Amino acid sequence: MEKERIKVAFLVHALSGGGTERVVSRVLRHLDRTRFRPVLILIEKKGVFLEDVPPDVPVLDCGRYTDGKRWGWVRTFAGILKAERPDVLASFLWYANAFAVLGRYLSGAKMRLILSERSTVVGSREGFLEETLRRLDIRFLYCAADRILVNSESLRSQFVERFGFPREKVCTIHNPLDLKGIVALAAAGGDRGSGSNRGATVVGMGRFTREKGFDILIRAMGRVRNPAKLLLLGEGREESRLRYLARDLGVAEKVDFPGFRRNPFPELREATVFVLPSRYEGFPNGLAEAMALGVPCVATRCRTGPEELISDGGNGLLVPVESPESMAEAIDRLLGDPALGERLGAAARISAQRYDAGKIVRQYESLIESVVA
């Protein structure tokens, strides 16, 4: 008799262009279908990564903002859980996590619960209300989880040491990289720009929010001595402020804003230097992807993640947070020393192999099987 597959429901707010959404889509693609039956539940059915969902994965919409009632989607969500009765509900990010706990309770269905946090709790600055609600969630709701999943060891330490969760309840699994896909997309061209005609390029990539520190990178470019162009790949609420800052510092001609790239890898592959200027992080996908392409990288020693990817001077360079001077010095080192950049890039490519999606998703599978057992 064939062994029954484990039914896993993944809950995320939407599939917009963020790191967590990339992780969910990669896990869905690589999960072993002989052992698992994945289902995707979205609070809002939207986002650029919707088309990346494998065709065999049902996508269930809670319909937030579409039913005419502010909280009607919560009942819809509970109804989905009651009808689907997954063996495991795996939720991502604090907002969805809170409703995962509530929805499971309202549905009356028995299922194991995995709640996943993706960014530092200590030192984050997302606004007073959001930060307060997030910490309340962690203290009073996360105890309902069978496992708490994080993407870095430093974040795991925060949950154990600051919030008092048992170490065995908090599990670290780094973000998966689709290494073959990244290399193929880089070679394919996709949203290819004119990087080959620009000369030396410094690339930053991510959402334009304060936490990502692109204002620090623009200030650093004003101090960089070697000629280079800065490409900021992404979009977000801070874009107007960043453009104004570049003009105010007199470096607007050195800074390009090509916009969000669904396929950023051709331009990333051509970069002379990749910079992660974040004030805080979770596990920086952009940094890992640049490393996978062999691009020499500079990253801040921010909470959490970069110091787990980069060994300073071994496979990249680390600089203090909020230090345009140190960042500019590190960029200049790489721009002025191609041999150093080649050595660090080659080591980075080797280091990134540990995050291959095939290896990482096997860890997800082991976690799911362990909570069911």
Q: What is the per-residue pLDDT across 289-325, written as a single tens digit (0 to 9) for each?
A: 999 999 999 999 998 889 999 999 999 999 999 999 9
Question: CA-CA distance, 120 to 357, in Å (whole number)?
Answer: 23
CA atoms within 13 A on the CB side of 134: 20
As assigned by CATH, the class of the 179-355 domain is alpha beta
Question: Is residue 339 exposed (0-12), middle (13-18) or buried (19+ Cβ within 10 Å)?
Answer: exposed
Per-residue pLDDT of the chain (373 residues; tens, 9 = 90+): 356 999 999 999 999 877 899 899 999 999 999 999 999 999 999 988 899 999 999 999 998 876 556 778 999 999 999 999 999 999 999 999 999 999 999 999 999 999 999 988 887 777 778 888 999 999 999 999 999 999 999 999 999 999 999 999 999 999 999 999 999 999 986 444 444 455 899 999 998 999 999 999 999 999 999 999 999 999 899 999 999 999 999 999 999 999 988 889 999 999 999 999 999 998 999 999 999 999 999 999 998 889 999 999 999 999 999 999 999 999 999 999 999 999 999 999 999 999 999 999 999 999 999 999 9
Instruction: In whole angstroms, give the CA distance from residue 345 to residue 194.
Output: 22
Per-residue tokens: 135 = 């910490």
Q: Residue 192's pLDDT is what?
A: 45
Contact 24, 92 (CB under 8 A): yes
Amino acid at 259: G
Return the DSSP state at 8. Answer: E
Give the pLDDT confidence score for residue 198 in this predicted structure: 59
CB neighbour list of residue 216: distance below 8 Å, 6 or more residues apart: 277, 279, 322, 323, 324, 327
pLDDT of residue 191: 45
Which pLDDT value is given to residue 196? 45
**Cβ proximity of 145 and 114 under 8 Å:** yes
What's the rounded Cα separation, in Å, for the pair 269 and 272? Answer: 9
- The pLDDT assigned to 67 comes to 59
**Please, what is the end-to-end C-alpha distance for the chain in angstroms?**
19
The confidence score (pLDDT) of residue 190 equals 46
Cα–Cα distance, 131 to 109 (Å, whole number): 30
List, in sequence order, the alpha helices (H) in 145-284.
153-157, 179-188, 214-221, 239-248, 265-270
Tens digits of residue pLDDT in 189-226: 644 444 445 589 999 999 899 999 999 999 999 999 99
Q: Are 6-176+356-372 and 179-355 the same fold in CATH? A: yes
Q: What is the pTM of this model?
A: 0.89
**Residues whose CB is less than 8 angstroms from the CB of residue 31 and which lie 6 or more positions away in sequence, other chains included:** 8, 38, 361, 364, 365
Q: What pLDDT is stored for residue 221 in this prediction?
A: 97
Strands 229-233 and 201-205: parallel
Query: How far, in Å, CA of 274 to CA of 278, rounded?
Result: 13
- Contact between 123 and 130 (Cβ < 8 Å): no
Strands (E), 155-312: 170-172, 201-205, 229-233, 255-259, 273-276, 297-300
| Among candidate residues 111, 58, 57, 55, the one with its CA nearest the CA of residue 82 | 111
Q: What amino acid is encoded at 277 in this protein?
A: P
Domain 6-176+356-372 sits in CATH 3.40.50.150 = no
Per domain, the residue ranges of the chain are: 6-176+356-372, 179-355
| pLDDT value of position 18 | 77
pLDDT digits (tens, 9 = 90+) for 73-101: 999 999 999 999 999 999 999 999 999 99
Q: How far is the C-alpha of 173 from the C-alpha of 159, rounded, in Å?
A: 14
Note the residue count of the chain: 373
CA dist list (Å): 97 to 12, 240, 269, 283: 9, 32, 35, 19
